Amino acid sequence: MKFATRAIHAGYERDPATHAVMPPVYQTSIFSYDRLGDEQPYSYSRSANPTRAALEANVAALEGMQYGLAFGSGMAAIDAVLRATLAAGDEVIAVADCYGGAYRLLTRIHAPAGVTVTFLDLTTRPEQLEDAIGERTRLVWLESPTNPLLKLVDLPRVAAICRARGVTTAIDNTFASPYLQNPRESGIDIVMHSATKYLAGHSDVIMGVVCTDNEQLAARLKLVQNSAGAVPGPQDCFLTLRGIKTLALRMQRHCDNALAVAGFLATHPAIDKVIYPGLPTHPQHELACRQMRGFGGVVTICLKDDTREAAARVAERLQWFALGESLGGVESIVNHSATMSHGSMPAEVKKALGIREGMLRLSVGIEDVDDLLADLEQALT
């Protein structure tokens, strides 16, 4: 079954009583028992809900994996992965230029709880893993492409290194979405999405999803999900399922528009650098061509005037790019990474990574691309 068909049909069999085409919103907290001691799949919606189950099965199918678990946010999903794989005294190795929220979770929540957190450049120097993995290393946390620098990790290479050492691999696959990349095919153990972004796709849901093929990992993730209770409600699950039905169409338009925007900005006199894996000038363009089925909807730009004031002027002049924290909606969004998505990251870390004051992250939406190009031109002039 091809991707677009799976996106529409996977995870839900029509109700034999009503023949409803869409999964119902099971807006209930409890499911009653006929007899004391009965076993049934649904009892309490924190533990399981049919609408949520349909979403979990759908996203797992899109990633080509057996198990899917939904959480109340992308951060709750990341936290569940860390809780399911790490204990005090263990080590997690994370890609250095990760999302600011993930950096904060690792350094301010899990590190004080006794987890050793090590950040490595796994994009340009994956061979570092060979020497970095130690006796207590339990997890390698990845992003590809990374946020906001759009660097890529050689997933098959990293997965092979970790598999040989018995280390679990997990990736935030939000920027690519299942439409562009299935990390399972490269040997990655756990795939996580902020479903808030491309999966739901309409900036109206906060949610995370984790998928795996490993039964033991799935059981531990389920334990965290049920015990900690950071689960989404059925209405949000319904909205995400509805959004996923158009994922293939939306992602293709995001990619087409982003490539056009990147090409336009690459020659603009106000721009110092354009970062986009789809441009031949991207240092990992060949890896992107091998590893992905497209290049995504995010373009990062560095202004020649590398100041926060210049970035603010451009961002505030844009008409069709909303100035906001998120990405992946049908509408275009501009983000000042240094103060927004990575505002919680220490200044010296951002400087070392290359997250500049004059850097803007563009989430290119599915509007008419001519309108977006005209908007960028007037804002930069």
Per-residue pLDDT reduced to its tens digit, 238-248: 999 999 999 99
C-alpha span between 277 and 279 (Å, rounded): 6
- H/E segment holding residue 253: helix 247-266
Confidence of residue 127 (pLDDT cuts 50, 70, 90): confident
- What is the model's pLDDT at position 16? 82
What is the set of domains in the chain, with CATH numbers?
3-244 (3.40.640.10), 247-380 (3.90.1150.10)
Confidence of residue 169 (pLDDT cuts 50, 70, 90): very high
Confidence of residue 359 (pLDDT cuts 50, 70, 90): very high
Q: What is the mean pLDDT of the chain?
A: 97
pTM, two decimals, is 0.96
- Among the residue ranges 53-62, 125-134, 270-279, the one predicted with the least confidence is 125-134
C-alpha span between 67 and 356 (Å, rounded): 39
Burial profile 74-99: b = 16 or more Cβ within 10 angstroms, e = fewer: bbbbbbbbbbbbbeeebbbbbbbbbb
Structure tokens at 250: 């939306």
Per-residue pLDDT reduced to its tens digit, 182-213: 999 999 999 999 999 999 999 999 999 999 99
- What is the model's pLDDT at position 32? 94
> Cβ distance 341 to 334 under 8 Å?
no
Residue 30, amino acid: I
Q: What is the mean pLDDT of residues 22-38?
A: 93
Tokens 């099971």 belong to 26
- What is the model's pLDDT at position 2? 96
Sheet holding 168-172, edge to edge: 67-71, 208-212, 190-194, 168-172, 137-143, 91-95, 116-120
- What is the model's pLDDT at position 37? 87
Catalytic residue ranges: 46, 99, 172, 197
C-alpha span between 193 and 179 (Å, rounded): 12
User: Which of the two residues, 255 and 37, has the higher pLDDT score?
Assistant: 255
Residues 321, 324, 329, 330: what is their CA dihedral angle, to the nearest 10 degrees?
-20
Structure tokens at 47: 């533990």
Residue 14 has pLDDT above 90, yes or no: no
Confidence of residue 323 (pLDDT cuts 50, 70, 90): very high
Percent residues over pLDDT 70 in the chain: 100
Q: Are strands 271-275 and 298-303 parallel, antiparallel or unpaired?
A: antiparallel
Q: Are strands 190-194 and 67-71 parallel, antiparallel or unpaired?
A: unpaired
Q: What is the mean pLDDT of residues 70-77?
A: 99
Tokens 């010296």 belong to 348
User: Which of the two residues, 162 and 19, has the higher pLDDT score?
Assistant: 162
C-alpha span between 7 and 247 (Å, rounded): 7
- What is the model's pLDDT at position 226? 98
- Count the Cβ atoms, other than its own, within 10 Å of residue 48: 18
Structure tokens at 300: 């990062």
Q: What is the mean pLDDT of residues 145-173?
A: 98
- Count the Cβ atoms, other than its own, within 10 Å of residue 114: 11
Residue 81 has pLDDT above 90, yes or no: yes
- What is the model's pLDDT at position 15? 81
Residue 345 has pLDDT above 90, yes or no: no
- What is the model's pLDDT at position 184? 99
Burial profile 321-335: b = 16 or more Cβ within 10 angstroms, e = fewer: bbebebbbbeebbbb
